[in-house]
Structure 1
Amino acid sequence: MSKNKKRIIWIIIILAVAAGGYFYFSGKKTTTEYTTAEVVRGNLPQTVSATGTINPDRKYELAFKATGKVIEMNVDVGDAVSKGQRLAKIDEGTLLSQLRQAEAEVKFQKNTLDNMKRQKSTYTKNQVDAQRARVLGAQAGVDVIRDQIEDTIIYSPIDGIVLKRFANVGDTTFVNAARSTSILTVASRGNLVIESNIPESDITKIGLGKKATVTFDALTSDDTYKAEISEIDPDSTVIQDVVYYGIKLKITDIDSRFMPGMSANIDIRTAEQENVILVPLRAVQTEGNQKIVEILNSDGVGVTKVKIETGLEGDEGMVEVRSGLKEGQKVVTFTKNL
């Protein structure tokens, strides 16, 4: 058999197989399987969830204003302190000798002024005024040194508790243009707040006074507490390329087991609709500016598109439907062609 005849036979076979496949598949009917959800009526909450840390409402990082060696450390972590209590001290260095010299200068300038006053005929008014200025200048020098000596001592600014201690007796503290070395952290004992960061996608949903439910990792899941947003930071913070806003929540249920630094799980109730029509959000489609859903026909074979008006998007993937649906209808959430 010639090569051309063989080639013609193979072409005929291929065409026959293709034609047979076409007629087979074109004659086969396609069926569609629908996954549906029932339209229900109920309450729809909207919640913003976040994590945070429990902290005292007032916390102070205490540092010396001068470089020096620590010669007193009168408190430790956990100690209660009272406002004005002396907590720590560094050595004065040469400040005491500078003070004696400055005080001697004040005494000398005052004596000079007194002599000038006793010899009024010898000195002009301008000379006496100039000497008064020297006295004031010398006294100002004394005041500066006394303030520097006072800065070698740290006092507690509040009644509270010592949270952290960063130095011991014998350590040297340093001060530079950027910051001072923190020596102690002191916090108030009474009111506690929860500090958290809310992403910009959720910050518009919350506001001052919004209520929250809080649990703590250190306690059981049955231990739930109520809190209220008391502060929203207007300045943003970028964390891993996401914009966040800091908030503070005041805890209304105080528990003696609360400790600064505990991790908190926060659910903020931002909105709620009661007794409304609900469908899964995944059932809602958008065509142009219109929201639609597909309703399964009563025969279970086909679907009908229905225009709807949606409202609040709430928790667990549910959305409020204000018009277009009624309770008991079945909306399509997933379509599969078989």
Structure 2
Amino acid sequence: MQNRIKDAEINLKELESEYRGNSSLLSSIELEIKTAKDQMNLNRTNYQRYQRLWSQGIGKRVDLEQAELAYKTSQNQVRNLEKKLEQTRNDLRNRYDMARNRLSTEKEQLRDFEIRSEIDGVIYALNKEEGEYITAQDRFAEIGGTGDYVIQMNIDEEDISKINLGDTVVLDLDAYPNEVYTARIQKIFPKKDEVTQTFLTEGSFVQAPSKLYNGLSGEANIIVSKREKALTIPSDYLMSGNMVQTEDGSKKVKIGVRNIEFVEIMSGIDSSTLILKPTEE
């Protein structure tokens, strides 16, 4: 494609030189016109001389007619050459316009082969090698920004109804094991992933690390409710049927909010109750 554009540029330059510059073809015709006009002026002078002589009764009529014919012939030759010059100039202009349109078309077609990102950023991955064929459906590269990173979180089906836009996220990143960061829920995708049985949500950092990289992983806890002085127990101490094991046997409890690690106890036991971790069967 680049070779075609280069050929079109060379062709345009040559035709522009012929059309706007010193064209040898136009110069040749202009020289012919100058020569023909000189001859026409000579023939006109000769014809006028024969006319004066004839008016004085001197000379032969055949000589007058031959002088007139030579003059008119030279006139026609000048007119024909002037038409030829104009036609040649028009032809050169048309060829120049065609060459300019061809170059414009070639550049337009080249733009069809150029792939441009709709955002500013960096290329994180290239899935194709130079020279490989790609189609409009091929995912051949990953491009992302370098500024505001998006946090993607997968929420279990049973928890998605508790999540709202603007909820606070407490985030632990594997790359920064001793740091805790906060974020906000910005988007909740309504379609469930049938493979993972989760819903995708996106968040943005309230306080971000000084350095971030595409693909960092970690654990996120979304704060969906807050309780002051809440009584909680570890999640793995809660048995099926909302039962807990105590020194006095199993007791049923009423639970409130919960996360992966802890469960809120609304009633059934209090802070003085000693609970036991269930034995695995």
The TM-score normalised by the length of structure 1 is: 0.43
In structure 2, the partner of 1:55 is: none
Following superposition of structure 1 onto structure 2, how do residues 111-260 of structure 1 map, counting pairs within 5 Å?
Answer: 147-167=108-128, 171-175=131-135, 179-180=137-138, 182=140, 184-219=141-176, 221-239=177-195, 242-260=196-214
Shift of residue 146, structure 1, vs aligned partner: 6.6
Please give the alpha-carbon distance, in whole angstroms, between the structure 1 residues aligned to 2:150 and 2:143.
15
Kept in 2, the 8 Å contact 1:92–1:152? The answer is no
In structure 1, the partner of 2:80 is: none
* Amino acid across the alignment from 2:272: G
Please give the alpha-carbon distance, in whole angstroms, between the structure 1 residues aligned to 2:3 and 2:159.
55
In structure 2, the partner of 1:328 is: 272
Kept in 2, the 8 Å contact 1:193–1:250? The answer is yes
Between structure 1 and structure 2, the one with the greater Rg is 2
Shift of residue 325, structure 1, vs aligned partner: 4.5
In structure 2, the partner of 1:262 is: 216
Kept in 2, the 8 Å contact 1:232–1:247? The answer is yes
Alpha-carbon distance change, 327 to 230 in structure 1, aligned in 2, over 3 angstroms: same
Please give the alpha-carbon distance, in whole angstroms, between the structure 2 residues aligned to 1:149 and 1:155.
12
Shift of residue 143, structure 1, vs aligned partner: 9.7
Please give the alpha-carbon distance, in whole angstroms, between the structure 2 residues aligned to 1:211 and 1:158.
28
Structure 1 residue matching 2:184: 3-state secondary structure: strand
Alpha-carbon distance change, 227 to 332 in structure 1, aligned in 2, over 3 angstroms: closer
| Residue deviations 1:152-210 (CA, integer Å, cap 9, x gap) | 223343332222334565x142326xx1462x433222111112222212222322111
Structure 1 residue matching 2:214: 3-state secondary structure: coil
Shift of residue 271, structure 1, vs aligned partner: 2.4
Q: How many residues are aligned here?
A: 186
Identity over aligned pairs, percent: 21
In structure 1, the partner of 2:228 is: 274
Shift of residue 216, structure 1, vs aligned partner: 2.2
Please give the alpha-carbon distance, in whole angstroms, between the structure 2 residues aligned to 1:226 and 1:269.
10
Alpha-carbon distance change, 150 to 233 in structure 1, aligned in 2, over 3 angstroms: same
Please give the alpha-carbon distance, in whole angstroms, between the structure 2 residues aligned to 1:168 and 1:283.
54
Alpha-carbon distance change, 251 to 148 in structure 1, aligned in 2, over 3 angstroms: same
Alpha-carbon distance change, 273 to 154 in structure 1, aligned in 2, over 3 angstroms: same
Shift of residue 233, structure 1, vs aligned partner: 0.9
Following superposition of structure 1 onto structure 2, how do residues 48-63 of structure 1 map, counting pairs within 5 Å?
Answer: none
Please give the alpha-carbon distance, in whole angstroms, between the structure 1 residues aligned to 2:223 and 2:244.
28
Shift of residue 260, structure 1, vs aligned partner: 1.2
Judging by fraction of residues, say which structure has more helix: 2
* Amino acid across the alignment from 1:204: S
Please give the alpha-carbon distance, in whole angstroms, between the structure 1 residues aligned to 2:214 and 2:225.
30
Gaps of 5+ in 2: 12-102
The TM-score normalised by the length of structure 2 is: 0.51
Shift of residue 332, structure 1, vs aligned partner: 6.9
* Amino acid across the alignment from 1:203: I
* Amino acid across the alignment from 1:257: K
Alpha-carbon distance change, 258 to 292 in structure 1, aligned in 2, over 3 angstroms: closer
Alpha-carbon distance change, 248 to 144 in structure 1, aligned in 2, over 3 angstroms: farther
In structure 2, the partner of 1:78 is: none
Kept in 2, the 8 Å contact 1:294–1:331? The answer is yes
Q: Which of 312, 318, 321 in structure 1 is aligned with 2:257? A: 312
**Please, which moves more after superposition, 143-152 or 258-267?**
143-152
Judging by fraction of residues, say which structure has more strand: 1
Alpha-carbon distance change, 214 to 175 in structure 1, aligned in 2, over 3 angstroms: same
RMSD across aligned C-alpha pairs, in angstroms? 4.1
Alpha-carbon distance change, 157 to 229 in structure 1, aligned in 2, over 3 angstroms: same
Structure 2 residue matching 1:276: 3-state secondary structure: coil
* Amino acid across the alignment from 1:273: R
* Amino acid across the alignment from 1:151: D
Shift of residue 284, structure 1, vs aligned partner: 6.7
